Amino acid sequence: MSAVWKALCSRRRGPCSDSWAIKVRAASPFWQVFWNVAPFVILILLVYFFFFRQMKMAGGRAMSFGKSRAKLLQRDDKNRTTFVDVAGVDEAKEELQEVVEFLKNPKQFQRLGGKMPKGVLLAGSPGTGKTLIAKAVAGEADVPFFSISGSDFVEMFVGVGASRVRDMFEQGRKSAPCIIFVDEIDAVGRSRFSGMGGGHDEREQTLNALLVEMDGFDTTEGVIIIAATNRPDVLDPALMRPGRFDRQVFIDLPNLKGREEILKIHVKRVTVGKEVDLQKVARGTPGFSGADLMNLVNEAALLAARRGAAAVELPDFEEARDKVSWGRERRSHMLDNEEKKLTAYHEAGHAIVLAKTEQTEPLHKVTVIPRGRALGATMQLPEKDRYTQGRKRLMGMLIGLMGGRAAEELIFGDVTTGAQNDIERATRIARAMVCEFGMSETLGPRNYGSDQHQMFLGREISRNEIHSEKITQLIDAEIDSILKEAHETASQILKDHRDRLELIAELLIKYETLDGEQVMKILETGEVPEELLKNGNGHAETPVTAAEVKPEKPAG
């Protein structure tokens, strides 16, 4: 008898019969199988538990790779964006107004057989408000707004992007009339590649699916595709042909009036002083986009709150503009007397040359306080937006850039690295004048710079020289001639006004910052303005003239 049988008989009361033995022997193989199979069953249950938990944590999307990730913007009257919230892009609003009217009343356009464009491409620099104006179109039309990024289509799994494109259009048809907004479409719509460097099969399949879907659906369904990109030049030509993105709306940087209107929208959220002139703030922000102006207002509000003011004043806006444009003041970066004196003469040279040169922008501020990477700055305030530049104005810019270096040579008999950025900018302008603008009398009106842009792989695999080596030497000689002419003119201006140069430099060493109006008064009268003569007690100091200022001679 086995040991198991003896153990069972010892616990059982009464004699052990043969039938009981047979039952135990029959049951023992089941338990053996159970204990052999149980670990595997437990392991499978654990794997299933953790897999199900991961699916739950992923929001149930672990097995739905092919579903569109477009987000539906809720139509809330309180947070709805309309054309009232968009400024500085009047032409774009006029073109998109037709899309709004079609979504509201499509029969108005269909009764004469007309068709609205299937797609609208918004192109423009970053921060110009492409996404904002797309939301405004949906808000004006009061239709569902699906938003998705171009990068959401491209995955590591082949075919997922194409499936998401089909699902996105299917969702749009179910919610018609609606707007489908694809942000950064160049991530998926980049020109299909041929040539060196390889390609991305998944992206190309996704683009093919997008082309087929846009070619297949009808605008009578009330689905409008709006896409945004910063690089329309890299998009595939098939995406831009009529029947797909029929209408292209370019959103440019706002002009002076547009910047003022944008500022009026953003200042509604902050407390602004009564004496703040937004037109003056707009004048000082050429080249700012809508996002830059929003950041400007926010920085001004933070500066006013930091100093405990009850409202945001004009100096806060000016300081915020200087901070956004040139960087924050680095007062902890203290300059010794020698560096401060050198910087003062350098910036004074810029200021005087700019003030005495024709067709230059008015001076705004001269400072020797380090800001950003610069030890000092001479700032100008443009009178208006300029879309073209003449040769005289460009030469004035070059002469102004050479003022700092010319002042160092005149006063110290030496040059420093402080003019590095000035020389770089001046060289870039001079090369553009010769090679692109045709402003060279020697070389004439011919373009020599068409090969200077960045090469886009897939379009420009190789390049050929567009001019001979002799022409290259003439270009270099002409650039040198223009830069030397600007430098000589700046040096002559400073020699003729050396007394003003010394006075302005000494005042910069003492006061660190001078306004443009103060610099102009010094140049006209040769005396220190009255507002600088008053000390902290309100008493006037002894007037100082240019003749009384004697700069120290440099060592050696």
Specify which of 42-51, 110-119, 501-510 reaches the highest per-range mean pLDDT: 501-510
Residue 477 has pLDDT above 50, yes or no: yes
pTM beyond cutoff 0.75: no
All structural domains of the chain with their residue ranges: 3-57, 71-251, 256-326, 337-450+467-548
Report CA 550 to chain centroid distance, whole Å.
48
Strands laid side by side in the 223-229 sheet? 71-73, 145-149, 178-183, 223-229, 119-124, 247-251
Q: What residues contact residue 495 under an 8 Å CB cut-off, 6+ apart?
A: 410
Helices (H) and strands (E) in the chain, counts: 21, 9
Tens digit of pLDDT for each residue in 400-448? 999 999 999 999 988 888 889 999 999 999 999 999 898 988 888 888 8
SS3 of 537, please? coil
Query: What is the distance between the alpha carbons of residues 546 and 120, in angstroms, rounded to a whole number?
Result: 63
Tens digit of pLDDT for each residue in 321-370? 888 877 777 766 667 788 889 999 999 999 999 999 988 888 888 988 88
Q: Decide: 253 and 288 in contact? Cβ < 8 Å.
A: yes
Grade residue 298 by pLDDT with cuts at 50, 70 and 90.
Answer: very high
Residues in the chain: 556
Contacts of 301-307 spanning 24+ positions with Cβ under 8 A: 301/270
Lookup: tokens for 298: 């926010």
Q: Decide: 205 and 162 in contact? Cβ < 8 Å.
A: yes
Q: Which run of H or E residues covers position 153?
A: none
Grade residue 71 by pLDDT with cuts at 50, 70 and 90.
Answer: low
CATH 1.10.357.10 fits 337-450+467-548, yes or no: no
**CATH code, residues 71-251:** 3.40.50.300
Range with lowest mean pLDDT among 113-117, 253-257, 285-289: 113-117
Radius of gyration of the chain (CA): 36
C-alpha torsion sign, points 53, 57, 59, 64: negative
Tens digit of pLDDT for each residue in 197-251? 445 566 777 787 888 877 765 555 677 888 899 888 888 888 888 878 888 889 8
pLDDT value of residue 549: 37
Lookup: tokens for 37: 């199979």
Query: What is the distance between the alpha carbons of residues 154 and 204, in angstroms, rounded to a whole number?
Result: 9
Question: Class of the 256-326 domain?
Answer: mainly alpha
C-alpha torsion sign, points 83, 84, 86, 90: positive
Query: What is the distance between the alpha carbons of residues 463 and 473, in angstroms, rounded to a whole number?
Result: 20
The residue from 202, 318, 347, 478 that is catalytic is 347
140 is catalytic: no
Query: What is the distance between the alpha carbons of residues 365 and 261, in angstroms, rounded to a whole number?
Result: 25
Grade residue 497 by pLDDT with cuts at 50, 70 and 90.
Answer: very high
Query: What is the distance between the alpha carbons of residues 82 and 550, in angstroms, rounded to a whole number?
Result: 63
Residue 265 has pLDDT above 60, yes or no: yes
C-alpha torsion sign, points 499, 500, 504, 505: negative
Same fold, 256-326 and 337-450+467-548: no
Q: Which residues of 23-37 are buried (b: 16+ CB within 10 A; e: fewer)?
A: eeeeeeeeeeeeeee
Grade residue 45 by pLDDT with cuts at 50, 70 and 90.
Answer: confident
Name the pairing type of β-strands 223-229 and 178-183. parallel
Instruction: Kindly report the three-state secondary structure assignment for every residue of 219-267.
Output: HHHCEEEEEEECCHHHECHHHHCCCCCCEEEEECCCCHHHHHHHHHHHH
One-character DSSP codes across 155-221: -SSTTHHHHHHHHHHHHHHHT-SEEEEEESTHHHHBPPP-STT---HHHHHHHHHHHHHHHHS-GGG
